[in-house]
Amino acid sequence: MRVLEPRETGYVDRGDVSIHYEVYGDGSPTVYLLMPDTIVESRGWKAQVPFLARHFRVVVSDPRGNGGSGTPPTRDGFDDRLMIGDAWAVLDAVGAEQAVLVGLCTGAGYAVLMAAERPERVLGVCAINPGLQLGAPLPHKVAFDFDAPRERYEGWQKMNRHYWLQDWPDFARFFFTEMFPEPHSTKQREDCVGWALQTTPEAMILAGYSPPYPGDEAKTVAIAEAVRCAVLVITGSLDRCQNPQRGRRLAEITRGEHVVIDGGGHLPQARDPVRVNLLLRDFVRRVA
């Protein structure tokens, strides 16, 4: 049972897969909430949708490989350009010529890329713990070879293709414990593990887990510099997925507002929803 039922649901045929989307509310402007990637589905925004839909039209969609969207059979089917194309196709399907984009992790990276390439369609961008190549990754994310088999898998050694195939549920439990360092986060962890179990380790291996856009840091900086709309960056000081300095740099480059949630982890929209909701509402009102 949901707090609020969608006023519209549908699918966008993208050739290789169909992308599932939902629309809530009927206000203005349109706010599009972009999930990070295949490991979770659009219900990751369940604490935002009912609140924001009181004021605006809210659109969510499931990423390739999870929720109601299809799963590509090849790595090429998870290409960043296709994921961005999915987002544009959803906006076209709901008749949104312009929208405020709100993204989390990789979804925040997609929102920035979309604003840079089609500025006439993006009113503003809110990037939560953005997954962009704007600084070094966190050391524990790259300390162990993703492709090398090991005799034992402890801690972040579980970020490994062989362990994913061996025990995906245990990796999901470990990963989301890391994503929620805040105390009393049991429900949020359970939700995310449940969504992670809707996909498969095979799909996750095809999808990869690197920040979007295959290029060097200078190229990413140039993309961020091309953003002309208002930008709000929200960063958790204890983010264990994306280096918090990436959010700071994105705010500096785009001359955006930067809000740091002290003690917050990677998913503040789930763990600190009241603060995030108010920040989003006020930001959308300003840019609209």
Q: What span, in angstroms and rounded, lies between the C-alpha atoms of 148 and 162? A: 8
- pLDDT digit string (tens) for 64-99? 999 999 999 999 999 999 999 999 999 999 999 999
The closest alpha carbon to 104, from 214, 269, 278, belongs to 269
**Residue 1 pLDDT:** 55
The rounded mean pLDDT for the chain is: 95
- pLDDT digit string (tens) for 93-136? 999 999 999 999 999 999 999 999 999 999 999 999 999 999 99
**Residue 212 pLDDT:** 65
**Residue 210 pLDDT:** 62
What is the percentage of the chain residues whose pLDDT exceeds 70? Answer: 97
Q: Contact 132/220 with Cβ under 8 angstroms? A: yes
58: confidence class by pLDDT, cuts 50, 70, 90 = very high
Q: At what angle do helices 217-225 and 244-254 cross, to 10 degrees?
A: 40
Q: Reply yes or no on whether the pLDDT at 227 is more than 90.
A: yes
Chain centroid to Cα 236, Å, comes to 14
Q: Reply yes or no on whether the pLDDT at 173 is more than 70.
A: yes
Say what the pTM is. Answer: 0.96
Mean pLDDT of 166-182: 98
**Residue 216 pLDDT:** 82
35: confidence class by pLDDT, cuts 50, 70, 90 = confident
The closest alpha carbon to 283, from 154, 100, 53, 153, belongs to 100
Q: Reply yes or no on whether the pLDDT at 6 is more than 60.
A: yes
